[in-house]
Structure 1
C-alpha cells in the first residue's frame, strides 16, 4: 500500500495495487512519511476501506483533518462497546458522525453549554437499548476526559447508534422519524388510555414496523391495492382499526401522506398485537 496523504503521525490515507483507498490508524504509522511512501503494515491498528468513487472518503478525510485524534479514538472505543452491547455491526460512517458529535460536546463543556435533546422522552421510549448504551458512553467519556455530562446528552448519542443500524439518508431523517413515531404513540395512548408494555417482544416488533412504515412514507413508496382482508380486520378489530384511522388522518393532515390499504391492514394488526396483551 502506498501513502496518498498523511493526516498526522498516527493516521494516513493509502491506496493499494487495485486502487482501493483506505484510511489507516496506528501509532507512528505516518511518522516522517510522505505521499508515495510505502506503509509499514505491522503498525495498522484500524482500517477503513472505501469503494472507488465512494463519497464517504471525503467525510473521513475531513474528519481526520479537523477533529483531534484523541476524540476519534474515544468515539471508536464507544462504537466498539456499542456493537458489543447491541450485538450488531454498525455502519462505519458512524465513526465520522459520532467523532464530530463528541468533539463538539467536549468543546461545549468548556463553555458550560450542556444541551438537552427535545426528543429525549421519545428516544428513551423508542430505543431503550441504544439509550442505555449511550448512558454507558457518557461514563466512558468521563473516565477518559474527566468531564461529566448530564444524562440528557445520552439521547443525542443514542440517535447515532439508531442511525447506524438502518439504511438512512442521514441524521435529519432519523430525528424526523423518531419525532413522528413518538406522535403516533401519543395518538395510541389517548385512544386506549393505557401505557404500552415497552419490555415486550411485541412492542419491539411494533416499533420496528413503525420505523419502516415511516421510512416508506418519507420515501414516497405508496402502493394502493384492493386488499379484501382489510374488510375482515375492520370488523374483527374495530377499535384497533379506529386507532389506525386516527393515525392515518394525522399523517395526512400533518405531512400530506397517503396511507394505503395494505399499510392500514398491517398497522391495524400490529396495533392489535401490541395493545391486546396490555388490555387483557
Structure 2
C-alpha cells in the first residue's frame, strides 16, 4: 500500500517575502524560501511540492497557542525577521532546535526592542560567564544581534548577546532554559563569593576561570542527573589543601541552596582543586 502524498499548505499569515506561516493537516509550520511569500495572502494554498530552504514545525499545543498569540500581536515584518534569525541559528549549528525557541526567543527580542525604544537600560550580569560557558552559542548569538541591527537600523547593547546565547543553548537542550540560567547564576555567585573570601579579583579572561566555570556547569549537571563521580584523591586534597577545601564546602553550600540537592565530598574536592589554582596564580 502506497503512502498518501502530503497535503498542500494553507497560508495562515505572510510574514515577509521569504517566510510564511502555514498549516498542513493538523500541524502549523514556518516555511522559508526565496520569494515564497510574494503575492500570497491568508487562505491561499501552497502546493506541498514547492521547493523550500527550511521548514520548522510547531507541534506542542502550548507552544502552538503561545506562537499564535505572538503572530496576532507582533508586526509581521518583525515576526519574519525573528524567524530568519532562528533559521540562521539552526543553519549555523547544523541541528534541529527545540520548537519552543519560536516562542521564547521571539518574545524576548520583542520585549528587548520595546525597552530600547523606551531608553530602558538593559544590563546582563552574567555576560562574561555566559560567553565562557557557551562559546559556540555566543558566537551565533553575536551574528543574530548583527542581523537585527542591520535590518532594524538600531544599536543593541552587548549584554543582549548573552541573553540570546542562553535561549540558543536552551533550544539545544530540550528547551530547558531554567537549567541554563542556573549554571550562569550559580557560577557568578560562587566566583563573587571566592573573590570576597580570598580578597582577590579573578581574571575573567584566564584559562583557570574558564576551567572553573566549565567544572561548575558539569558538576551541576551531574548533581541534577544524580550521576556522581569518584575522586580517588579526596583524602589527599582535604589534607594538602585544607583551606581551599573549606572554601569549597562553602561554595558547595551555594550550589545546594540553589538546587535543593546535596553536593558529595568527591565533588567538593574537585572544587577545592580549582580554588587552589586561583590561589596559586596569585602567589
Question: What residue ranges of structure 2 are gaps of 5+ in the alignment?
Answer: 1-5, 15-19
State the Cα deviation string for residues 20-43 of structure 1 (Å, max 9, x = none): 8744234228935749x5625435
| Counterpart in the other structure of 1:97 | 104
Aligned-partner SS, 2:183: helix
State the Cα deviation string for residues 81-104 of structure 1 (Å, max 9, x = none): 65788x675734334322222222
Aligned-partner SS, 1:2: coil
Aligned-partner SS, 2:120: coil
Aligned-partner SS, 1:147: coil
The equivalent position to 1:279 in structure 2, one of 267, 277, 282, is 282
| Counterpart in the other structure of 1:13 | 23
State the Cα deviation string for residues 208-246 of structure 1 (Å, max 9, x = none): 2212333455x4x55789966411221233233122112
Tell me how far apart the structure 2 counterparts of residues 65 and 132 of structure 1 sit (CA, whole Å).
31
| Counterpart in the other structure of 2:248 | 244
Tell me how far apart the structure 2 counterparts of residues 89 and 237 of structure 1 sit (CA, whole Å).
43
1:47 and 2:50 aligned:
no
**Is the CA contact (8 Å cut-off) linking 2:32 and 2:53 kept in structure 1?**
yes
Aligned-partner SS, 2:245: helix
State the Cα deviation string for residues 37-65 of structure 1 (Å, max 9, x = none): 562543523311467x6865555455445
Change over 3 Å in CA distance of 1:81–1:45 after alignment to 2: closer
**Is the CA contact (8 Å cut-off) linking 1:13 and 1:22 kept in structure 2?**
yes
Change over 3 Å in CA distance of 1:149–1:214 after alignment to 2: same
| Counterpart in the other structure of 2:152 | 145
Greater alpha carbon shift after TM alignment, 262-271 vs 25-34 = 25-34
Tell me how far apart the structure 2 counterparts of residues 258 and 91 of structure 1 sit (CA, whole Å).
32
1:157 and 2:164 aligned:
yes
Question: What residue ranges of structure 1 are gaps of 5+ in the alignment?
Answer: none
Change over 3 Å in CA distance of 1:225–1:34 after alignment to 2: closer
| Counterpart in the other structure of 1:24 | 31
TM-score by length of 1: 0.72
**Is the CA contact (8 Å cut-off) linking 2:129 and 2:213 kept in structure 1?**
no
Deviation at 1:113? 4.2
Tell me how far apart the structure 2 counterparts of residues 60 and 72 of structure 1 sit (CA, whole Å).
10
**Is the CA contact (8 Å cut-off) linking 2:183 and 2:220 kept in structure 1?**
yes
Greater alpha carbon shift after TM alignment, 24-33 vs 180-189 = 24-33
Tell me how far apart the structure 2 counterparts of residues 182 and 271 of structure 1 sit (CA, whole Å).
14
**Is the CA contact (8 Å cut-off) linking 2:141 and 2:162 kept in structure 1?**
yes
**Is the CA contact (8 Å cut-off) linking 2:130 and 2:138 kept in structure 1?**
no
Change over 3 Å in CA distance of 1:226–1:209 after alignment to 2: closer
> Alpha carbon RMSD of aligned pairs, Å?
3.9
Change over 3 Å in CA distance of 1:226–1:137 after alignment to 2: closer
